Chains A and B, each alone.
Chain A
């Protein structure tokens, strides 16, 4: 609750938002998985929000809980994952309280998700054109002919040449970049208000990645969507996002505008990540900061970054830090910013 109060205070201070702006709010979300030690919280008390037409980056490494969080927003969490607590508000409605039937109307129409692996997300036995036509038939009640017409139009909009021919293609006949374009076409077909893109360029080459991000940016502007972009690449965040949420081991370590976080990273983990990102435009000091431990201590109830932290203190092992606003709109969860 204290976190919420700080959050609201920070917003009031920064002054550039009202509740009407808010599209998605994730509140105190915890998701557990079974482990040897019993159920462990792989996502632990995660809160953040996304405003209309905004691009928010959710950044973190393997096991940080980014994808699990995204799936929970779509209400696609499946056993053994279990949403223990928390609310997910979308346009003022609690998605957790919706029936599955109502949720089906949200998915694809109000919120869409581009998954990590385009190849395995397309139906291999269905022609591309028919797959893109589906959302029009399901959500907008179009007939087959009209839906196919729209599907062809969508293919053209996502930059697939010879749209007519590719309407009849099967997914295995497409390259990775083209599969991702097809998925984007499907996902934005019904003009959702929020598009969740989960590492949408994994496995694609950088020049194709640049094409895909340019496309996402373009459809976002054309359709005035908000985008929640999940990535481990701080370069992508710097380029595309207005705000960012840094996750580590299921905890939100830092949130803020991209400018603030890059300029004044508050959390030692964010600093470590920024330091680890080598750049093509200059040669850097590659001496690592902090410890390179990969096992994540999901059972820890204090700060889960403590085992790797270069600035670790006694209290870090004992107690989970409170969320502190270091400046308006910039919050850090770290004992370094303990308020006396």
Chain B
């Protein structure tokens, strides 16, 4: 039916803590990702962005909803059925030291996916693939025999990226890949990710709370709050003309490194409600300036305001049209 590489329909994910408590982490997320597209999934802690990512790569079992990858429904597959697809959808994790096996050298780390997926026959081809990926991520071949703890933070994250890309995936899920790095190192990794995407033609789902990186890396962005998408659209539309009050507040909270830029800051009241007791209506209503009585009763749908820009707020959508 479509040209999307990944499609998510009404994804829900709940975690049972005990008999009485359930955490509603993701509450109905729809997403379409085109080949070669970079989409940002942003929001603050507890908004469900990482859980969504983990559901996509099958690190979590979904509670409800369907995920299609390359037009096949992966939510219903067994591990064995999914295995051939696994090489096409890879993940880069937030904390490189926690996600690299401390007992494997860089070479062993990069060899593992090739062995599992039978992607190289013989030593020579294996080594050629490993050296190729090392040079792609700008790592010296001399680092191949080191262990993760003998590498710097930036080098570790490059190994994490190399491990994800060595199977030549069609899509990569990146979960806060730069948040553990210092500013002047971060830009090297961002530059690398942009170049690799263009060179290898992959789709990226980029999970981050760092909106300035998303602006520079992605074409489209989804803003999540309390397990739902509150606004989505092209990067320019969301950053330059945000419609949802939450998106506006989120953007205004980020300091701009320019003493000459003075902006109106929206300081939100309070903190998000608990994920164990979701409010019946709009999850943001308690903190929203414009909330009316109906907001607290009825869940707002995503309204299309044109050009792929959608917002889950009747008032914001109304203001626009």
The interface of chain A, by Cβ under 8 A from chain B, is 61-62, 161, 175, 177, 205-211, 214, 232-239, 258-259, 262, 272-281, 283-284, 286-288, 290, 292, 294-295, 308
- Top 5 nearest A-B pairs (CB, nearest first) are A235-B255, A205-B44, A210-B253, A294-B152, A278-B212
**Cβ contact of B211, chosen from A62, A275, A280, A295, cutoff 8 A:** A280
* Complex CA distance for A210 and B251, rounded to whole angstroms: 11
B265's nearest neighbour on chain A, judged by CB, is: A210
**Cβ contact of A61, chosen from B184, B254, B270, cutoff 8 A:** B184
Q: How many residues of B contact A (CB 8 A)?
A: 42
Assess whether B254 is in contact with A206, with CB atoms less than 8 Å apart: yes
* Complex CA distance for A236 and B190, rounded to whole angstroms: 22
Q: Which residues from B are CB-within-8-Å of A214?
A: 265, 267
Asked if B183 is at the interface (CB within 8 A of a chain A CB), the reply is yes
* Complex CA distance for A308 and B185, rounded to whole angstroms: 11
Assess whether B215 is in contact with A283, with CB atoms less than 8 Å apart: yes
Assess whether A233 is in contact with B182, with CB atoms less than 8 Å apart: no
**Cβ contact of B255, chosen from A61, A205, A236, A258, cutoff 8 A:** A236
Asked if B45 is at the interface (CB within 8 A of a chain A CB), the reply is yes
* Complex CA distance for A279 and B258, rounded to whole angstroms: 9
Asked if B213 is at the interface (CB within 8 A of a chain A CB), the reply is yes
- Interface set, chain B 176-203, CB cutoff 8 A to A: 182-188, 190-191, 194
Assess whether A61 is in contact with B257, with CB atoms less than 8 Å apart: no
Asked if B82 is at the interface (CB within 8 A of a chain A CB), the reply is no
B47's nearest neighbour on chain A, judged by CB, is: A205
Assess whether B182 is in contact with A61, with CB atoms less than 8 Å apart: yes
Known A262-B259, A292-B154, A292-B185: A206·B253 in contact at CB below 8 Å:
yes
* Complex CA distance for A233 and B256, rounded to whole angstroms: 9
A241's nearest neighbour on chain B, judged by CB, is: B259
Assess whether A262 is in contact with B212, with CB atoms less than 8 Å apart: no
Known A209-B253, A210-B253, A288-B187: A280·B212 in contact at CB below 8 Å:
yes
* Complex CA distance for A53 and B200, rounded to whole angstroms: 54
**Cβ contact of B209, chosen from A205, A211, A258, A280, cutoff 8 A:** A205
Assess whether B253 is in contact with A295, with CB atoms less than 8 Å apart: no
* Complex CA distance for A281 and B258, rounded to whole angstroms: 11
Shortest distance from the beta carbon of B31 to any chain A beta carbon, whole Å: 22
Q: Which residues from B are CB-within-8-Å of A205?
A: 44-45, 209
Instruction: Return 10 A-B CB contacts under 8 Å, by A number.
Output: A61-B183, A205-B44, A206-B44, A207-B250, A238-B256, A262-B258, A262-B260, A276-B184, A278-B216, A280-B212
Known A207-B268, A278-B215, A278-B216: A238·B253 in contact at CB below 8 Å:
no
Q: Which residues from B are CB-within-8-Å of A175?
A: 271
Assess whether A207 is in contact with B183, with CB atoms less than 8 Å apart: no
Beyond A234-B183, A278-B216, 18 additional pairs, beta carbon < 8 A: A206-B44, A207-B250, A207-B253, A209-B253, A211-B267, A233-B255, A238-B255, A239-B259, A275-B187, A276-B187, A278-B213, A280-B254, A281-B239, A287-B191, A288-B188, A292-B154, A294-B155, A308-B184
Per-position binary interface string of chain B over residues 235-267, scored 1 when its CB falls under 8 Å from any chain A CB and 0 otherwise? 100010000000001111111111111000101
In the complex, which of the residues A208, A284, A290, A295 has the most CB atoms of chain B within 10 Å of its own CB atom?
A: A208
The interface of chain B, by Cβ under 8 A from chain A, is 44-45, 152-155, 182-188, 190-191, 194, 209, 211-213, 215-216, 235, 239, 249-261, 265, 267-268, 270-271
* Complex CA distance for A232 and B182, rounded to whole angstroms: 8
Chain B contact residues, majority secondary structure: helix
Assess whether B255 is in contact with A286, with CB atoms less than 8 Å apart: no
Known A272-B184, A278-B216: A234·B257 in contact at CB below 8 Å:
yes
Assess whether A295 is in contact with B216, with CB atoms less than 8 Å apart: no
Assess whether A292 is in contact with B184, with CB atoms less than 8 Å apart: yes
Q: Which residues from A are CB-within-8-Å of B267?
A: 210-211, 214
Assess whether B191 is in contact with A238, with CB atoms less than 8 Å apart: no
A292's nearest neighbour on chain B, judged by CB, is: B188
Q: Which residues from A are CB-within-8-Å of B211?
A: 206, 280
In the complex, which of the residues A236, A275, A286, A290 has the most CB atoms of chain B within 10 Å of its own CB atom?
A: A286
**Cβ contact of A283, chosen from B216, B254, B255, cutoff 8 A:** B216
Assess whether A232 is in contact with B259, with CB atoms less than 8 Å apart: no
* Complex CA distance for A96 and B253, rounded to whole angstroms: 39
Shortest distance from the beta carbon of B272 to any chain A beta carbon, whole Å: 9
Q: Which residues from B are CB-within-8-Å of A237?
A: 257
* Complex CA distance for A272 and B255, rounded to whole angstroms: 18
* Complex CA distance for A6 and B270, rounded to whole angstroms: 48
Assess whether B184 is in contact with A280, with CB atoms less than 8 Å apart: no
Q: Which residues from B are CB-within-8-Å of A258?
A: 259
Shortest distance from the beta carbon of B295 to any chain A beta carbon, whole Å: 19
Shortest distance from the beta carbon of B37 to any chain A beta carbon, whole Å: 17
* Complex CA distance for A288 and B178, rounded to whole angstroms: 15
A295's nearest neighbour on chain B, judged by CB, is: B152
* Complex CA distance for A236 and B259, rounded to whole angstroms: 10
Q: Which residues from B are CB-within-8-Å of A208?
A: 44, 271
* Complex CA distance for A62 and B250, rounded to whole angstroms: 26
Shortest distance from the beta carbon of A256 to any chain B beta carbon, whole Å: 12
Known A275-B187, A279-B256, A283-B215: A294·B153 in contact at CB below 8 Å:
yes
Assess whether A262 is in contact with B215, with CB atoms less than 8 Å apart: no
**Cβ contact of B194, chosen from A62, A280, A286, cutoff 8 A:** A286
Q: Which residues from B are CB-within-8-Å of A275?
A: 187
**Cβ contact of B154, chosen from A210, A277, A294, cutoff 8 A:** A294
Q: Which residues from B are CB-within-8-Å of A259?
A: 259-260
Q: Which residues from B are CB-within-8-Å of A235?
A: 254-257
Assess whether B216 is in contact with A211, with CB atoms less than 8 Å apart: no
* Complex CA distance for A235 and B256, rounded to whole angstroms: 5
* Complex CA distance for A210 and B254, rounded to whole angstroms: 8
